[in-house]
Amino acid sequence: MAEPAPLRLFHTAAHACGYWPERAARDLVLDPGDPRLADNYARALQWGFRRSGDIVYRPHCHGCRACVAVRLPVADFVPDRSQRRCLARNADVQARILPAGESAERFELYRRYLTGRHPGGGMDDHGKAEFAQFLVGSWSQGRFMELRAGGRLLAVAVTDLVDDALSAVYTFYDPDQAARGLGTLAILQQIDWARRDGRRHLYLGYWISGHVKMDYKRRFQPLEQFDGHGWRPLPRGGEA
């Protein structure tokens, strides 16, 4: 019997970097048309890839290795003082894990988040079709973790379930509730979720040293980084 063909990798053309606008970026992408993609997604995460919609990719830029895939071994995590304060501020928040999907309430929150937090970020014209394509996809085992207080939807953490891990895909939240620290709260709740399920890791996507929008990930310790060959501890000082 012939062995199955390996998954194909494609190298994208250069495009604007989403983190450093003055730089050009390129990605390695697993063949999005391969029917085995869902079965190989967990392994791809272990290789430093990430999902966006139905696309599984890893940055592969000429002369730049700033994007570092990171994950948290949840059994070893202990919240620091700031994270404990975040939990205390949000003692009234309830987390519910629900099937992934678009609703009027979720979409309205998503639009408000993009307008308030990422104006001019290239997603301003996202409609319901783009919401479903970007956050749900067609093959992933994704869930939406809703955070509510008094019945009001405050945040949604899009989370994938794979083997013995969770992967934090994207989080959007009420931009008028900045004092709550909802982004931090979402990760803390995902850590708790992973522990309850007996999962080993929470994948947090890419961390970039010195980038203001990525620095928060360094505060979740002990963080591990993928160095192209395997996973090793990311020093607490943050230098990869």
Tens-digit pLDDT profile for residues 148-179: 999 999 999 999 999 899 999 999 999 999 99
Q: Across-strand partners of 72?
A: 202
pLDDT digits (tens, 9 = 90+) for 197-238: 999 999 999 999 988 888 889 999 999 999 999 999 998 765
CATH number at residue 154: 3.40.630.30
Do both 119 and 158 map to the same domain? yes
* % the chain with pLDDT above 70: 93
**Residue 133 domain flag:** yes
Do both 59 and 111 map to the same domain? no
Do both 26 and 89 map to the same domain? no
**Residue 82 domain flag:** yes
Residue 98 — φ and ψ, nearest 5°?
A: -130, 165
Do both 97 and 16 map to the same domain? no
The domain boundary residue, chosen from 66, 85, 104? 66
The domain boundary residue, chosen from 66, 91, 115? 66
72: CB partners within 8 A, 6+ apart: 191, 201, 202, 204, 220, 222, 223, 224
Residue 205 — φ and ψ, nearest 5°?
A: 80, -140
Sign of CA dihedral 151, 157, 158, 160: negative
Do both 97 and 122 map to the same domain? yes
pLDDT digits (tens, 9 = 90+) for 17-55: 988 888 999 999 999 999 999 999 999 999 999 999 999
Residue range of the domain that includes 34: 9-66
Q: What total of structural domains would you count in the chain?
A: 2
Once rounded to an integer, what is the mean pLDDT over residues 73-82?
Answer: 97
Do both 182 and 108 map to the same domain? yes
The domain boundary residue, chosen from 66, 89, 104? 66
Do both 163 and 75 map to the same domain? yes
Residues 149, 189 contacting (CB under 8 angstroms): no
**Residue 3 domain flag:** no
CA dist., res. 49 & res. 196, Å (int):
25
pLDDT digits (tens, 9 = 90+) for 111-157: 999 987 756 555 666 688 888 888 998 898 899 999 999 999 999 99
Q: Where do the H-state alpha helices sit in 90-168?
A: 104-117, 128-135
Do both 61 and 98 map to the same domain? no
Using 50, 70 and 90 to split pLDDT, how confident is the model at 7?
confident
pLDDT at 1: 58
Do both 127 and 216 map to the same domain? yes
